Structure 1
C-alpha cells in the first residue's frame, strides 16, 4: 500500500498539537487500542494478539475467531507460500473484528529447546525464520492490516523475562538474532516492530538505542513504528531517546506527564517526540485510520465455516512431519485401529498465553479419525496434566467492589475470566468475583482457578481454599493461575459455585470434568485394545502447561507415564504408530520400539481432521523439522534458560541448534533440523553451481505424488564459522517425474560480522541435503580473493598447496608433464609450478 503522507502534511498536522497532546498519543488508550485526535484526522486504532489467531480486544469471552496451526507447524512446510497465505487469512480475521494491527509474527529463534514460547516462533534458523516472516508480513499487509514483528531482540526464554539481561556478543547478535528482523525489514517492510521485555547487554530493549536507533532505524532505514511489549517500558527519557515510539498498554504508563517534563527539562528533544508521532501517523495512514474511519469488509468466511475448515485442515496437515515409517503409514482404511491416549481425546490445539483464542470448535484426533474411517476403537490414556484447567462450558460471573456493590453480572462463554484489567471502567475496583455454572451428574472432578481465598460449593458440599501466587512474572498468574480440585460424585445436574476474594491480578475459572481413569487402568485398557487391533495409534504430547508464554520447560520428557504407555502398547500391538501432539522437541525413548512416528504440532481448530488426513494420506504430511530434537536432556548446544545473577549468557555464540551439533558442540541429535520423510522417495542427481544458484536434478522415485524440500547449506573453510542454511526450495512432483530444481543462495546468510563490518564468506562447500543427517550432494565454492590465494601458495609444499586450492573449490584435473600441476574451477585453470616438491609460482591462465 502506498503511503499517502509527505513531510509537509506531517509537519502541518504536528503543528496543531501541543506537547502534551503529542505525548498523550504515544501511550495506548486501553489494553489494545490507541487514542485518536479529530483535529489532525487521526482515528483510534485497535491491535490484537495474533500468533495463532486474531483474538480481538478481549482476553476471555471475546468473539469466536479462527484458531490456526501453531507457528512451528506452519513453518515445517518450509513454504513461503504457506506463510503468505496465513498472513492473508489473518488479515481477513482482523478485518472481521475491525483490527488494524496484528501482533505477529514472532521471529525469535529456538536457541534452547526449553523455551516455553517456542511454539509461537518459527525455527532455530535465522534464514528460514526471516523468509517465512517476510512472506507472512507481505500477506498480512497486502490486505491493509499492519504486521508487528516481535520481540526485538535476544528474547529466547521466559524465565525472569521482565528483568533478564541477555548477554550476546555483537557477531552472534548480528548473524543470528537480528537477521530475521533484517530480512523481514528488507523484503517486506513491516509497519511495526515490538521491543522485548529483556535487557540486551545491560540495556533494556525498550531503551536499546544501539539496536533501535542505530541498526533498525539507522542502518536499515526502517520508517515504521516501534512499540513496547505490554508493560515492558519502565522509563520516560531513556526509552524515548532509545528509539521507542509507543508505550503499551494504556491508559497509564511511564510516559505522559513524566515525558512532558523530560522534554521541558531538556532531557528529550521535542524533535524526538515528533519523530515518534510521525511514525504513528504513518502507521495510521497505512492501516486506514487517518482522515476517515476505515471501511471494513463484511463478506468474509465464518471462523467455523466450510471455507476455513478446508484451509486450516490443509495448512496443518501439510506441515506435519513423518519422523519414522516402516510402511505402516499411510493407514489402510480397511484396517482396525486402536486409537489410544489422553491427547487423542483432549488434543492440544494451541499453546498458552497471549497466543490463545476463543475458537468456534477444536476437533480432537479421536473425533477426526473416527469421522474419517471405520473400525476405530478409542481408548483413554494416562494423565498428561499436572495442573488444574478451566472447563469447557459457559458460566455466570458476578463482580463486586470493596463496598459490596454489584459492579457487573454477565455470562462468560468460557469457564474462565479475569477479576480486573488495568483499563477496566467500573464504579470501583473489583475485590470479589462469584462464578457459577450447572454441571452434569456422575463422577466429576471439580475445582477453581484463582489467586486469593475461595469458597467452592457443589450441592451440599463446601470447601474453603486459599490459592497463593505462583509467579513473579507480572502476567504469570494471569496466564497460568494456580488451582485447586477434588473428586466428587453428583446425583444429577448440580450448581457449582466459586466465591473468590481476590488476592492479586490473576486468571479465574471453574473446573468440572469427568473423573479420569487411573494410570494403571488406562495402560491395561490400552494394551487390551492394541492386542485386538490391526494397528495401534498412540497419541502422546505436551499441553499448554509446557507450551506457554511466561514459563519455560525444565525437561523434554513427556509428562506423566506416557513413555510407559507407548512401550506397553508397542509390546502388545502388531504395529504401532505414535502421533506426537507437541510444538517443540520431546524425548522419545521408545522410538526404536514403534513402526512410525508422526509429529503433529499444535494443529489448530481442525487438528483432528488434519491428523486424520495425514495418517490416511489424504494430505501428505510433507513437513521438515524446523528445530533439532536433542537425544537427551542437556544434549544441545544451548540448554539453560535460568539467568545467573540476572544474566543469561549466550555462551554458545553462533553455534546454535544444528550449527552446534554439526560442529560437535553437543551429542548428535535424535532428529536433525530439516529432517522429514513425507510419503515419497527421492533421487538426487549432480549438483552444480552458477552465480550463487545451486541446481540439482530431482526425481520422485515413489509411486505417489510427493513434495520435497531441497535444502542448501554452506560449510565454510574457516574453523570459527559454523555450517549454515543459505537457501531452500520446495517442489511437488508426480510419480517418476524429474525436474531441475534451482535454489538461490541468500548472501545475507553467507557472510560474517567481522571487526564492525560485514565480510562475505568465500570458499568451502555447498551441501544439498534433506537435513544434515541426509546429505545428497555437494559442490565447492570459490574462495574469493584469488590474488591473495595465489600469493599464499608460493613457498608451500606441493601437497599442502594442493589442499588449500582444493578447499577453495578447485579440482585437480591433470598432472602436466614436468614441473606443473593443473587445477580447474569452472572455466578457469590454475597452474602450480613446483621444484623439488615446493611451489615456486602460482597463476591462472
Structure 2
C-alpha cells in the first residue's frame, strides 16, 4: 500500500513541474473561470476542464433554465431537521452520484451561514441557527461527497446572513462573536472534513470585502487553521486586482472576464503582487484538480447509475423528506390520519406544491408530486376530495413543465423564433422549457425580435392566468386578447431571480395558442411565458373549502410560502402567510370535524389560527417527491420525527434579531453570541415554537441522567430514555449548557430509534469547541458553572443537572 506522505510528495512534485512549465500569462489565465461554471483546461500540463455546479438542492448543471433533469432534494433545513449526521452523509453521497452522472467535479455547497433572522430569504439552503449543529451536519455532508471524488465548496465566508444589499453591506461583527458563532461551522468543517474548496462571500466584514480580507483568508483560514485547499470568490464578488490577489483569493468566478487576467499580469510585473503568490494559487488549483480527477490521468465517469426518477431515487427522497418533517401540534392524536377517513385536501399549495426556493440552487426535477396527488394515491381517490384555495402569489412564475407545448412538434415547452430587423426568420427552435436566459442562448443575441409561442395543455376549458415574464418591450396575444406592454427591471433583486411580468386572466380552451414577441435589449435577461390555472376570488375559494370540510372526516389544509419569499437576493418583510391563507384556515377550522394544517415552507410563518386546529405538520420544501412524502408522514407510514432547527416567533418583530435591512450600509451583529435560541432564552418573550421542538408520533420518558466531567470539562451526558407511547419512534436527546452569565448553548445531541415500551441508555458526547470562549486574542476554557439541560427542545426541558460537581 502506498504511503500517503509519499503520494502527497509526488503530487507536489508534479505540481512544481507544471508550474515551472507555464509562463506568467498562462498561470494567471487559470485563475479566472473559463465560463460561468467551468475552469480553463491546460493541455500543456495535462490539466482537464474542471466543471462546477450549484448543489444544495441537487446538482443543477450548467444552465440556469431548462437544463438537465436532476434529482430535486428536500431543502436543507428539512434535511437538517433529522438532526442526524448519517442523513447528511447520505445526502452527500447521493449528490456525489448525481454530480458524477453529469460529469461535474465541484459542487458549490454546503452553505453554513446561520439563521440569524427569520426574515432572511435564503434560510432554506442553510442548516440551522446553531453553529454546532450546522458544523456537524456540514462535516458529514462534505466527507461523504469527497469520499466519491467530488469536491465540496464550503460557503459563504463569512457573516453573510441576509440578502438585502448582500453585495455591498458591511457586516460589523466583534471578534468573539465571529469566532464562537459564525466561524465555528467553517472551523469544524475545515478541521474534520477538509473541504477541497471554500467560497468567499459578497459582503464586507468589518469594513473589508470578504474577497480581500487578508485576516480571514490568509491569516485565519490558510494560516491558523492550516487550510491547503482552494479559496474562490462568489460569482462576481471580486472587484479589485491586487487587493484580492494579496489577500489570498485563489480563483475568481465566473469568467472569462474579471478583475484579474491582464490586470493581474501587470500587477505582478509592476511589483504589486509577487509571482510567488500566483504560483501558490496555481498550486491550490492543481491540488483541487488532482483530487477530482482532472490533473494527470483523467477520471473515469460512470457509464450509468440511478436516474432522477428511478425507484431507488424516489424512495430515498421520499424517506428523507418525510422523516425530517416536524409535528408541531397534535391534539387528541389527530395524526396519523385515521384509517378509512374521508379527507378534504384544500389549498393552492396542495395542487401547486412548492418544492424548492428560488435562486442559484434551483434544479429541474423529473416530476413534482403535489400534496393532492400524493394523498389521492396513498388513500385512494374515492376517499379524497381536492379543493383549490386562495391566491398565494403575486408573481405567477414561469409556466410549469408540462403545461405548454410546442405548436410545431407537440413536445412540452415552446417554439422560439428569432427575426432580423426586416422581419425575416433567422432561426426557429424548440425549447423544452417555458423560459429562456439570453446569456445561455447566444443564438438569440443578434435578433431584432424574439417570438415565444406555445399551446396550453389542458383537459378542459379553464380560467387561466397567461402572460409574459422578462424585461423589455412586448406584444402578447391569446384567444380574444392582444396587448403591447413595456416591462421594466424590478428594483429589489437581480435580473434573474425577480423578473417583471404581465398576466391576464382569460377563459382558455385546450390547445389555445399564446404568442409573445420581445424586442431586442442590449443586456442579458430572462424571458418566458406564464400560464397557470387562476385561483378563484378569496370568498369563492373559502366558500368551496368550507363546504368540502363539512362533508369530510378530516380537512387537510395546505398553506405556505412561495419562491417570492424564500429566494436568493430578496429578504422577507413579514412572517405572515401571503394572501388570504390565514382566513382560509380559520374558516375551514370552524367548519371541519378535524383540521390538519400542512405548512409548505422552509422558514417560520405566523399562525394566528393555531389554537383552532387539531394538528400542524411542518413539511418544509420537500423536493420532487413532496406529495408522496407528505402522505407518508400524515398516514404514519414514515414517522415525521424532525426537530426544528430554528426558533419560530409568535409575532413579527419578536426575537433577538429581526430586520435584515442594513442601516446606512451597515449591519451590526449587536446581539453578539446571543443569536437564535440563545437570545430567546434570555429575552422577555416566548417564541411560538422553540429550537429543537418536534413531537413525532409517540411519547417519551426520561429517567436518570449522569454527567461525565474530566478536568473540569463536560465530556458526555448519559440518560435513560423510554418510549412510553404505542408506536415505534425516533427521539433526539438534546443537551444544552447554561453557564453563569453566558447564553445557553447546544453542546451535543444523539438520536435513538426505539420500539414502543422499550428503554435504552443514550450517551451524548459533548463537543469541546462550544465549551470555550474567545478572549484577548485566544481561546480560553469557560469555567464549569451553571446548569446542564437535557431536553426535547428548549421548550421541553426534562432534566436539569448542576454543571459543577
TM-score range, shorter chain: over 0.9
TM-score, normalised via structure 1 length: 0.90
Q: What TM-score results when the alignment is normalised by the length of structure 2?
A: 0.94
The alignment partner of 2:496 has SS state of helix
The residue number in structure 2 matching 1:164 is 169
Structure-2 change in CA distance of 1:379 and 1:426 (3 Å): closer
Q: Distance in 1 between matches of 2:448 and 2:768?
A: 58
1:427 to partner: Cα distance = 9.2
Residues 24-56 of structure 1: CA distance to partner in whole angstroms, max 9, x if unpaired? 000001111011111111110100000100011
For the residue of structure 2 that corresponds to 1:184, the secondary structure is helix
- CA deviations 1:304-359 (Å, max 9, x no partner) are 11011100000000000000001000001211111111101110011101111110
Structure 2 vs 1, CA of residues 623 and 715 (structure 1 numbering), >3 Å: closer, same or farther? same
Q: Tell me, what secondary structure is at the counterpart of 1:8?
A: helix
Q: Secondary structure at the match of 2:97?
A: helix
Distance across 2 between alignment mates of 1:405 and 1:757: 71
Tell me which of 501, 523, 536 is aligned to 1:483: 501
Say yes or no: does 1:433 pair with 2:450.
Answer: yes
1:410, CA displacement in angstroms?
Answer: 2.6
User: Which of 790, 796, 805 is equivalent to 1:768?
Assistant: 790
2:627 matched residue in structure 1:
608
Q: In the alignment, is the contact (CA less than 8 A) between 2:389 and 2:535 conserved in 1?
A: no
CA distance in structure 2 between the partners assigned to 1:498 and 1:383 by the alignment: 25
CA pair 150-301 structure 1, distance change in 2 beyond 3 A: same
Q: Tell me, yes or no, if the aligned pair for 1:161 and 1:197 is still in contact at 8 Å.
A: yes
State which of 689, 711, 717 in structure 2 corresponds to 1:671. Answer: 689
Whether the aligned pair in 2 keeps the contact of 1:457 and 1:498 (CA below 8 Å) is yes
Match of 1:337 among 339, 343, 350: 343
Say whether residues 1:737 and 2:742 are aligned partners.
Answer: no
Aligned residue in 2 for 1:356: 362
Aligned 1:786-805 pairs, distance under 5 A = none
Match of 1:412 in 2: 431
Deviations 1:216-257 (A, max 9, x none): 111110111111111111011100111111011111111100
Mapping of residues 23-34 of structure 1, within 5 Å: 23-34=28-39
Q: Distance in 2 between matches of 1:302 and 1:745?
A: 40
Q: Find the aligned partners of 1:407 and 1:604 in 2 and give their Cα distance.
A: 39
1:245-300 Cα shifts (integer Å, max 9, x gaps): 10111111111000111111111111111111101000000000011322101231
In structure 1, C-alpha distance between the alignment counterparts of 2:119 and 2:240, rounded to whole Å: 31
* Counterpart Cα distance in 2 of 1:373 and 1:603: 19
Structure 1 residues 607 and 492: alpha-carbon distance in aligned structure 2, compared to 1, 3 A threshold? closer
SS of 1:479's equivalent?
coil
1:689-728 matches, within 5 Å, as 689-691=707-709, 692-717=715-740, 719=741, 721-728=742-749
Give the drift of 1:407: 6.1
Q: Structure 1 residue 409: deviation in Å?
A: 3.6
Mapping 1:400-799, distance limit 5 Å: 409-421=428-440, 432-440=449-457, 441-459=461-479, 461-471=481-491, 473=493, 476-503=494-521, 504-664=523-683, 667-691=685-709, 692-717=715-740, 719=741, 721-763=742-784, 764-781=786-803
Which of 381, 384, 393 pairs up with 1:385?
393
- Match for residue 836 of structure 1? none
Q: CA deviation at 1:636?
A: 1.3
2:226 aligned residue (206, 221, 225): 221
Cα separation, 2, equivalents of 1:26 and 1:401? 38
Question: What is the CA-CA distance between 1:779 and the residue it aligns to?
Answer: 2.3
Shift of 1:408: 5.2
Equivalent residue of 1:654, what SS?
Answer: coil
Could you tell me whether the CA contact under 8 Å between 1:339 and 1:538 is conserved in 2? yes
Give per-residue Cα distances to partners, 1:796-842, cap 9 Å, x unaligned.
xxxxxxxxxxxxx2xxxxxxxxxxxxxxx3xxxxxxxxxxxxxxxxx
**What is the distance in 2 between the residues matched to 1:597 and 1:464?**
46
Larger radius of gyration: 1
Contact persistence 1:420–1:429 (CA under 8 A)? no
RMSD value over aligned CA atoms? 1.6
Equivalent residues in 2 for 1:154-303, closer than 5 Å = 154-303=159-308
Mark the runs of 5 or more structure 1 residues left unpaired by the alignment: 782-808, 810-824, 826-845
> Within 5 Å, which residues of 2 pair with 1:48-87?
48-87=53-92
SS of aligned partner of 2:495: helix
Distance (Å, rounded) in 2 between the aligned partners of 1:92 and 1:402: 47
Q: Distance in 1 between matches of 2:129 and 2:384?
A: 37
Give me the whole-angstrom Cα distance separating, in 1, the residues matched to 2:139 and 2:619.
Answer: 24
Check whether the contact 1:699–1:737 (CA below 8 A) recurs between aligned residues: yes
Q: Distance in 2 between matches of 1:71 and 1:186?
A: 22
* Residue in structure 2 matched with residue 834 of structure 1 by the alignment: none
State the 1:442 CA deviation: 4.1
Please state how far the C-alpha of 1:400 moved relative to its aligned partner: 5.4
The 3-state SS of whatever aligns with 2:190 is helix
Aligned partners of 2:661 and 2:421: how far apart in 1?
39
CA contact (8 A) 1:350 1:544 kept: yes
The Cα offsets for residues 495-535 of structure 1, whole Å up to 9 and x where unpaired, read as: 21111125443321101222321111110011111111111
Residue of structure 1 aligned with 2:376, choices 370, 374, 384: 370
Check conservation: 2:37, 2:53, Cα contact below 8 A: yes
1:700 is displaced (CA, Å) by: 0.7
Mapped contact 1:407–1:427 kept (Cα < 8 A): no
CA contact (8 A) 1:402 1:429 kept: no
Question: 8 Å contact 1:419–1:502 — kept in the other structure?
Answer: no
